[in-house]
Each structure stands twice: as structure tokens, then as C-alpha cells.
Structure 1
Amino acid sequence: MSEPHVLIVEDSALVTDALRILFEGSGFRVTVAASLADARALPANDIADLMLLDVTLEDGDGIDLLIDMRAKNVEPETTVALTGYDDPLTRQRAIDAGCADVLVKPVPVRELLRIARSYTA
């Protein structure tokens, strides 16, 4: 069986470095996109099992990325939104766009790993 593939769309290098170490050390294949532009440039034939999607990116809205990916039928199997704000409207918008869950940062690493494993099992 191949490694589960996690796509991390996050503009903080510190966060992406930590998540890459966490997931690669736990048997995941990891792809990182530091912006919407980077995420949109990824190969359409390499669809992730799980996308961890920052809602607020420097070059735009992460939820819009998921909407665009769904329209092109290249969205990951499961998307979990990550946000720094516990806002009910953002939460609902993310769920409506197709996110399986919305987590408020900071998320404890063990919890994030547990969630990732549950969605990629």
C-alpha cells in the first residue's frame, strides 16, 4: 500500500516545516504549497488524499482554492480547513465548499496527526 499523500497549503514557512517533519516522520508523502498560486500550479494528476488548507493566505482565500479545485474535479479526497479565527461564518463557508472539518489554530500536533490518519485510513 502506498503512503497517504497530504497536501499542505499554508503560507507560514515555520508551520509548513513543522508539519512536513511531523507527517513525513509518520509515513505520509507530503506536498507543500506556500500560496494559492503554488497550489494551482501543482500537477492535476497528483491528487492528495488529504489537503490541510489555510483559510487566509497572503495571495487570497483558501476556500476559493477548494471551490476552484472541485470545479475542475481535482480536489483531494478530503480537505480540512485551518484558520486562526473561530468564526461561525468562515466555518460554515468552509463546510459548504466541501471541507470535512474546520480546525482553529493552533492545533496540537498529536490531534492533527490523529485527524489526518482518520481521514486517510
Structure 2
Amino acid sequence: MTSPHVLIVEDSALITDALRILFEGSGFRVTIASSVADARTLAADDVADLMLLDVKLEDGDGLDLLMEMRARNVEPETTIALTGYDDPMTRQRAVDAGCADVLVKPVPVRELLRIARNYTA
């Protein structure tokens, strides 16, 4: 059995470092994209099982990226939006873009890992 592959699209180095440690330590294969541009390139090279997607990135909108990936047939099997904005409009945009779940930062690590395992089982 191969390890599930998670693509983490997040522009905060502190968050990506913590998520890399969490997921690699739990048996996931991890790829990090710190920008929309990086995510475009990495997604085309290796489609992930799960993408953890920050909604607001320095160089663009994560949800627009997801819709673009879908149009190019390189979107991950499952995408979970991570956002600091707990409002109905952001949640609806994420669902409309194709996110399976929307989590508000900060997300407890055990909860995030449990959710990720459920989607990659």
C-alpha cells in the first residue's frame, strides 16, 4: 500500500513546517506549495490524493486555483479549504469551488489529521 499524498498550499512557512512534520510523521507523502504559482506547477507534475488549500494566498485566491486545476483535470481527489475567515460567504465559495470541507484556522492538529485520514482511507 502506498502512502497517501497530501499537497499543502499555504504561504505561511510556520504553518507549512508544522503540517509537514505532522503529516510525514503520520505516514503521508507531503508536497508543499507556498504560492498559487508553485501549486500550479506541482499539481501538474503529481496529482495528490488530498490538498489542504489556504483560501487567501499572497499571489492569488486558493479557490480560483482549485477551479483552474479542475478545468485542467489536475485537481486532487479531495480538497479541504483552510481559512482564517469563518463567514458563510467564504464557506459557500469553497463548497462551490469543489472543496469537500472547510476548516477555520487554527485547526487542532488531531482533528486535522483525523479528517485527512478519513478522506484518504
TM-score by shorter chain over 0.5 = yes
**Structure with the bigger percentage of helix:** 2
Contact preservation (8 Å) 2:43, 2:74: no
8 Å CA contact 2:9, 2:35 repeated in 1? yes
TM-score normalised over the length of structure 2: 0.98
Distance 1:25 1:43 in 2: 22
Partner of 1:108: 108
Give the distance between the partners of 2:30 and 2:65, measured in 1 at CA: 18
Q: Please state if 1:77 is matched with 2:74.
A: no
Instruction: State the match for 2:19 in structure 1.
Output: 19
> Share of identical aligned residues, percent?
84
1:43 CA displacement: 5.2
- Listed one character per residue, the Cα deviations across residues 53-77 of structure 1 (whole Å, up to 9, x for unaligned) are 0000000100000000000010000
> Is 2:25 the partner of 1:30?
no
Q: 1:43 to 1:70 in 2, by over 3 A?
A: closer
TM-score by length of 1: 0.98
Maintained 8 Å contact 2:8/2:30? yes
Cα drift, residue 44 of structure 1:
1.8
| Residues 9, 52 of structure 2: 8 Å contact kept | yes
Quote the RMSD (CA, aligned, Å).
0.7
Which 4+ stretches in 1 moved above 2 angstroms?
none
- Alignment gaps of 5+ in structure 2: none
Structure 2 counterpart of 1:67, one-letter code: M
Q: In structure 2, what is the Cα distance between the partners aligned to 1:92 and 1:36?
A: 21
Secondary structure class of the residue paired with 2:2? coil
Displacement after TM superposition at 1:45 (Å): 4.3
Count of paired positions: 121
Paired residue type of 2:87: D
Alignment partners' CA distance in 2, 1:46 and 1:2: 14
Structure 1, unaligned stretches of length 5 or more?
none
Tell me the SS of whatever aligns to 1:30: strand
